[in-house]
Structure 1
Amino acid sequence: MKAAALQMVSGISLDHNLAQAHALLDQAAQAGAELAVLPEYFCFMGHSDRDKLVLAETPGLGTVQAFLQDTARELNLWIVGGTLPMATDDPQHATNSSLAFSPKGQCVARYDKIHLFRYDNGRERYDEAAVLQAGDTPTTFDLADRSGQHWRVGMSVCYDLRFPELYRQLQADVLLVPSAFTHTTGQAHWELLLRARAIENQAYVIASAQGGQHENGRRTWGQTMVIDPWGQVLGQHAEGPGVVVCELDFERLQQVRRQLPALEHRKL
């Protein structure tokens, strides 16, 4: 199965972001991808964290969900919509949610980001919990590719990457990590953590990133990549918008797990 990791530099215009996302998704489909993964906050990177509350959607209703549904159907693609803000019972908080749509336009899974990022090095300060409500449910979905092969796909978002226990629970063949890593933390840890998650779970990793200088002044690391179960980087895009399309080989996945049955050797 061919899979595509999409990189963006999202701005403050919802319409512009969705237009760019559509162009990248179309590029992925033209390259033969069956699964395409957008980055975290593909639809919007506002001036402040509170701006995302204005765009928060309710399940089954909203511009971004309609875009994902229609585009999946139009391009005959499995699409994972990076993340978008979803409304909660508290108007002061939203969830940071990743939605998966089948080629028929059906929403087959929703994952609310569990681990909320907080960072302060004296120059950069982030605290997602100020406007986001954490999720609490590890989430997977079953994807049948065009050959009839079934893949267990595990969902995660950005800062989740630092918590390996989540990925152990997912027990997936493919791990998704749509992200908007800061330039500082990405430069230090992004590839190292992604390859570790691939190796220890003997799974493919699709890591779609924001990558560049944003209108709101934020700089994200980029380096979107696809990694195989042995930890090899199959494809990578450094900075700016782009598409990484790679072949996911189920037999290769099984081969790695047979040759080094580490998952069977777990004791804890």
Structure 2
Amino acid sequence: MKVAAIQMVSGISLDANLSEALRLLRLAAAAGAELAVLPEYFCFMGARDEDKLVIAETLGLGRVQDFLSDTARDLRMTLVGGTLPLATDDPAHAANASLVYDARGQRLSRYDKIHLFRYDNGRERYDESAVLTAGTAPTHFELLDQAGQAWRIGQSVCYDLRFAELYRALAADVLLVPAAFTHTTGSAHWEVLLRARAIENQAYVIASAQGGLHENGRRTWGHSMVIDPWGQVLAMHAEGPGVVIAELDAARLRQVREQLPSLQHRVLA
């Protein structure tokens, strides 16, 4: 199955972000991608964290959800909508939700980011819990590719990457990591964490990132990539908008799991 990790440098204009996402997704479709993954906050990187609340949509209603559904149907691909803010019962908080649409434009899955990022090194400060409500449920979906191969796809978002127990619970063939890692943390930890999650779970990893200097002054690390179950980086795009294309091979997945059956050797739950 051919897949695409979409890298963006999203800004404060919803129109511009959706237009850029469509351009990149069309490139992915032209390359034959059956599954495409947009980055975290693909539709909006506001001037302030609170700006997410202004564009938060109700599940099943809204321009961003319509865009994802229509694009998945028009391009005939399974589309993972990075994340977008969805309204909660608390008007001061939104869910950071990753929605998946199939090639008919039907919603397959919703995952709300469980682990909320907080960081303060004296120069950079972030606290997602100020405006976001954490999810609680590990989430996966099943995907049948054009060759008839079934894949179990596990969902995660950005800061989730640091919590290995989530990926064990997902027990997936493919792990999705749409993200907006800061330049500081990404340069130190992004690739090593992604490769560790691939190796320890013997799974493919599709990591789609924000990557560049944003209008709001934030700088993200980028380096979107696809990694195989042995921890090999199959393809990568360092900085700026781009499309990472790679082939997922079910036979390779089986080979890795058979030659080193570490998933069968687990002792501690």
Q: TM-score range by the shorter chain?
A: over 0.9
Superposition pairs of residues 47-66 of structure 1, within 5 angstroms? 47-66=47-66
1:232 aligns with 2:236: no
Residue segments in structure 1 that go unaligned for 5+ positions in a row: none
Letter in 2 for 1:149: Q
Map of 1:74 onto structure 2? 74
Letter in 2 for 1:136: T
Aligned residue pairs: how many?
A: 268
Superposition pairs of residues 214-225 of structure 1, within 5 angstroms? 214-225=214-225
Map of 2:101 onto structure 1? 101
Map Cα deviations across residues 101-139 of structure 1 (whole Å, 9 max, x no partner): 000001000000000000000000000000000000000
Partner of 1:221, secondary structure, is coil
Tell me by how many angstroms 1:201 deviates: 0.1
Map of 2:21 onto structure 1? 21
The percentage of counterpart residues that share the same residue type is 75
Map of 1:151 onto structure 2? 151
Tell me by how many angstroms 1:5 deviates: 0.2
Tell me by how many angstroms 1:207 deviates: 0.2
1:136 aligns with 2:136: yes
Letter in 2 for 1:226: V
Map of 1:166 onto structure 2? 166
Tell me by how many angstroms 1:24 deviates: 0.5
Q: CA RMSD in A?
A: 0.3
Tell me by how many angstroms 1:212 deviates: 0.1
Map of 2:87 onto structure 1? 87
Tell me by how many angstroms 1:197 deviates: 0.1
Map of 1:40 onto structure 2? 40
Following the alignment from structure 1 to structure 2, what is the Cα–Cα distance between the partners of residues 193 and 64? 30
Tell me by how many angstroms 1:43 deviates: 0.1
Superposition pairs of residues 201-216 of structure 1, within 5 angstroms? 201-216=201-216
Following the alignment from structure 1 to structure 2, what is the Cα–Cα distance between the partners of residues 240 and 123? 24
Following the alignment from structure 2 to structure 1, what is the Cα–Cα distance between the partners of residues 186 and 149? 34
Following the alignment from structure 2 to structure 1, what is the Cα–Cα distance between the partners of residues 54 and 254? 45
Tell me by how many angstroms 1:255 deviates: 0.4
Following the alignment from structure 1 to structure 2, what is the Cα–Cα distance between the partners of residues 107 and 145? 17
Following the alignment from structure 1 to structure 2, what is the Cα–Cα distance between the partners of residues 175 and 55? 28
Following the alignment from structure 2 to structure 1, what is the Cα–Cα distance between the partners of residues 19 and 143? 26
1:250 aligns with 2:259: no
Following the alignment from structure 1 to structure 2, what is the Cα–Cα distance between the partners of residues 267 and 63? 47
Following the alignment from structure 2 to structure 1, what is the Cα–Cα distance between the partners of residues 108 and 55? 22
Partner of 1:167, secondary structure, is helix
Following the alignment from structure 1 to structure 2, what is the Cα–Cα distance between the partners of residues 56 and 251? 41
Following the alignment from structure 1 to structure 2, what is the Cα–Cα distance between the partners of residues 173 and 82? 19
Tell me by how many angstroms 1:81 deviates: 0.2
Following the alignment from structure 2 to structure 1, what is the Cα–Cα distance between the partners of residues 68 and 150? 22
Partner of 2:235, secondary structure, is strand
Tell me by how many angstroms 1:167 deviates: 0.1
Following the alignment from structure 1 to structure 2, what is the Cα–Cα distance between the partners of residues 106 and 179? 23
Map of 2:121 onto structure 1? 121
Map of 2:264 onto structure 1? 264
Following the alignment from structure 1 to structure 2, what is the Cα–Cα distance between the partners of residues 55 and 150? 35
Map Cα deviations across residues 193-229 of structure 1 (whole Å, 9 max, x no partner): 0000000000000000000000000000000000000
Partner of 1:29, secondary structure, is helix
Tell me by how many angstroms 1:174 deviates: 0.3
Following the alignment from structure 2 to structure 1, what is the Cα–Cα distance between the partners of residues 143 and 20? 25
Q: Which runs of 4+ in 1 moved over 3 A?
A: none
Following the alignment from structure 2 to structure 1, what is the Cα–Cα distance between the partners of residues 164 and 44? 28
Following the alignment from structure 1 to structure 2, what is the Cα–Cα distance between the partners of residues 17 and 192? 29
Following the alignment from structure 1 to structure 2, what is the Cα–Cα distance between the partners of residues 208 and 32? 17
1:241 aligns with 2:232: no
Partner of 2:212, secondary structure, is strand
Map of 2:190 onto structure 1? 190
Following the alignment from structure 1 to structure 2, what is the Cα–Cα distance between the partners of residues 222 and 158? 12
